[in-house]
Every structure is written in structure tokens, then in C-alpha cells.
């Protein structure tokens, strides 16, 4: 899905990176609150997943899972790496935001790891409960792809996008 880049300066700051095809690939990601907070605070520069994610991912909507259950930030993605858990750890350990023991437990028995490197974080001025956005939207187990309109709606409701013309 391609969106216009004519919508103003603030939208440009929210959508600086697109995939090589000129599309925005956006994932809604539930993340444990401790790690979601570290991402938004800039203490964690990588998000880890066990399930395959598109290599051309451009943005993430950060949802702090239970007990918080709110969207707290947006992120621009630098890149996605697929490798063994040990190779990913070697690359990301300096900014993983997770202890090695917890990381090893997360990937126990897995031969592939997916690492999402964060380029830029945009903390929301106002955390958003899903009920404020969409009726029937279900929080996915790992992640789900959403369209740019959903991303802009989050940015507007979260107080980081004022004009969406």
C-alpha cells in the first residue's frame, strides 16, 4: 500500500522510510510492558521475534501488553535481520534491552531469530487504548500488519500528528 508524501512536514517525519518498492510496511506489535517502555525510552534498540516478519518492515506500532494494554509509541525501523539466536545476540547485545538469560529462554529450541533494529522512536503524548481506535481489532499473538491509515490514526490520537490532509 502506497501513501502520498504530500501531507505535510509532520507526516514526513512519521513516514521517512518506505520499503524498496515505495510502500510502507507497518506492524502492530504487542510487547511486554517492561520492554515496550525500554523501547520508547530509547534504552532498547532491537525488538526480537520468533516468527517470520517481512524484511522490508518500515514501521512499528508499539503496544504495551497486559496489564498496561495501551499503544505507547511508534517506531521507524532501520532493518530486519534473520539469523541464529546466537548470531543475533552477538550483533544486538549492546542495545538488546534484555538480559542474556531471558533472551536465551525466549529462543530456547529455536534455530532462527528475527531482530528488528529501531532507527527512531516517537513516544505518544497520550497512550491509547484499542477501544479508542477500532471496534473489533484483536491484539495479535506476535504481530499483525496494519495499513498507513491505522498508523496515522494512532499518531493523531496519540498527539504526535496534528494535520492529516
- pLDDT tens column, 83-110: 999 999 999 999 999 999 999 999 999 9
Residue 9 has pLDDT above 50, yes or no: no
Contacts of residues 31-35 at CB distance under 8 Å and 24 or more positions apart, as own/partner, are: 31/62, 31/63, 31/64, 31/65, 32/64, 32/65, 33/64, 33/65, 33/67, 33/68, 35/97, 35/98
- Contact between residue 67 and residue 33 where contact means Cβ atoms under 8 Å apart: yes
Superfamily name and number for 9-157 = Hypothetical protein. (2.30.130.30)
Domain segments of the chain as ranges: 9-157
Residue 136 pLDDT class (50, 70, 90 cuts): confident
| Cis, peptide link before residue 135, omega less than 30° from 0 | no
Place of cell 529501531: 118
Amino acid at each position: 500500500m502506497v501513501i502520498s508524501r504530500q501531507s505535510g512536514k509532520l507526516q514526513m517525519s512519521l513516514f521517512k522510510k518506505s520499503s524498496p518498492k515505495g510502500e510502507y510496511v507497518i506492524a502492530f506489535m504487542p510487547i511486554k510492558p517492561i520492554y515496550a517502555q525500554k523501547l520508547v525510552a530509547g534504552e532498547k534498540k532491537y525488538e526480537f521475534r520468533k516468527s517470520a516478519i517481512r524484511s522490508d518492515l518500515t514501521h512499528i506500532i508499539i503496544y504495551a501488553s497486559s496489564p498496561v494494554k495501551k499503544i505507547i509509541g511508534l517506531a521507524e525501523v532501520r532493518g530486519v535481520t534473520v539469523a541464529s539466536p546466537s548470531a543475533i545476540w552477538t550483533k544486538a547485545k549492546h542495545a538488546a534491552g534484555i538480559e542474556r538469560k531471558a533472551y536465551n529462554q525466549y529462543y530456547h529450541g529455536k534455530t532462527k531469530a528475527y531482530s528488528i533494529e529501531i532507527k527512531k522512536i516517537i513516544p505518544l503524548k497520550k497512550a491509547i487504548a484499542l477501544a479508542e481506535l477500532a471496534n473489533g481489532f484483536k491484539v495479535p499473538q506476535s504481530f499483525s500488519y496494519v495499513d498507513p491509515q491505522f498508523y496515522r490514526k494512532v499518531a493523531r490520537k496519540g498527539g504526535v500528528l496534528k494535520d492529516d490532509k
